[in-house]
Amino acid sequence: MKFAIIQFPGSNCDQDCLRAINGLDGLSAEYVWHKATSLAGFDAIVLPGGFAYGDYLRCGAIARFSPIMNEVVRAAKEGRLVLGTCNGFQVLCEAGLLPGALVRNRGLRFVCDMVRLRIEVPDSAFTHRCPQGTILRMPIAHGEGCYFADGNTLRELNANGQVVMRYCDGTGATSPESNPNGSIENIAGICNREGNVFGLMPHPDRACDARLGSADGARIFLSMAETILAERAKAAA
């Protein structure tokens, strides 16, 4: 199963993603430069963290116009799995593949920390085997991770089960204290209406080895693999 990792000028979690994915049984990852014009042969696409184009103008604002993004949009519309972590989430929002936007952290500080995330949907293509209420631990590292959406968008996200995870405390409560960046309703990750595009500010790529503090991030990649296998089985039947 092949994952594409898109490299923009300024991406800096591409190696983390490659290593994390290649370390999982049955999964392999390859870099795809942002000027490439094909994603043929890839089962899933990952937009990694970093500072694409130096975050100039707005995070993700220029990266969304990279040539490869036409193919990412096409793949998303075809139903292929697209994951955006951190800066990748910002790019997906700028590209209009996910609703809302990410703005400067409420506290103005770059936050680098381990956070807890409560899974909000019983099953998603990216969170199989994580029942609703599951708490995952993953690191965050961002200055502009405060999720914003207007009232209507927020209502739709909630009504359609698109809020995949929220920042929470040890008991699973989504308190203001457990919100690291001021995100509206403690939102940490959302998916599109169809459920095949997922963006989150935390780093599953940096949480794939218990020796480094958490292996919960691996569950995201393994879940994607499981979804792809299920799709293949469905197509073959």
Residues that bind another protein (CB under 8 A): 57-58, 61-62, 65, 93-94, 99-101, 103-108, 146, 148-150, 182
Task: Between 107 and 133, name the residue whose CB sits nearer to another protein.
Answer: 107
Task: Between 86 and 98, name the residue whose CB sits nearer to another protein.
Answer: 98
- Alpha-carbon gap, residue 204 to 219, rounded angstroms: 8
Q: Which residues contact 237 (CB under 8 A, 6 or more apart)?
A: none
**Residue 125 near residue 227, CB atoms below 8 Å:** yes
Encode 198-208: b = buried (16+ Cβ within 10 Å), e = exposed. Answer: bbbbbbbbbbb
Task: Between 61 and 141, name the residue whose CB sits nearer to another protein.
Answer: 61
Alpha carbon of 226 to those of 1, 101, 124, 140, 161: distances in Å? 10, 29, 11, 25, 20
Q: How far is the CB of 81 from another protein (least distance, A)?
A: 24
Residue 18 main-chain phi, psi, to 5 deg: -60, -50
Q: How far is the CB of 191 from another protein (least distance, A)?
A: 17
Task: Between 19 and 58, name the residue whose CB sits nearer to another protein.
Answer: 58
Residue 89 has which token pair? 């989430």
Q: How far is the CB of 54 from another protein (least distance, A)?
A: 15
Task: Between 106 and 137, name the residue whose CB sits nearer to another protein.
Answer: 106
Amino acid letter, residue 124: S
Q: How far is the CB of 58 from another protein (least distance, A)?
A: 6
Residue 99 has which token pair? 């609703």
Residue 196 has which token pair? 């095949």
- Alpha-carbon gap, residue 116 to 172, rounded angstroms: 8
- Alpha-carbon gap, residue 227 to 130, rounded angstroms: 13
Task: Between 93 and 125, name the residue whose CB sits nearer to another protein.
Answer: 93
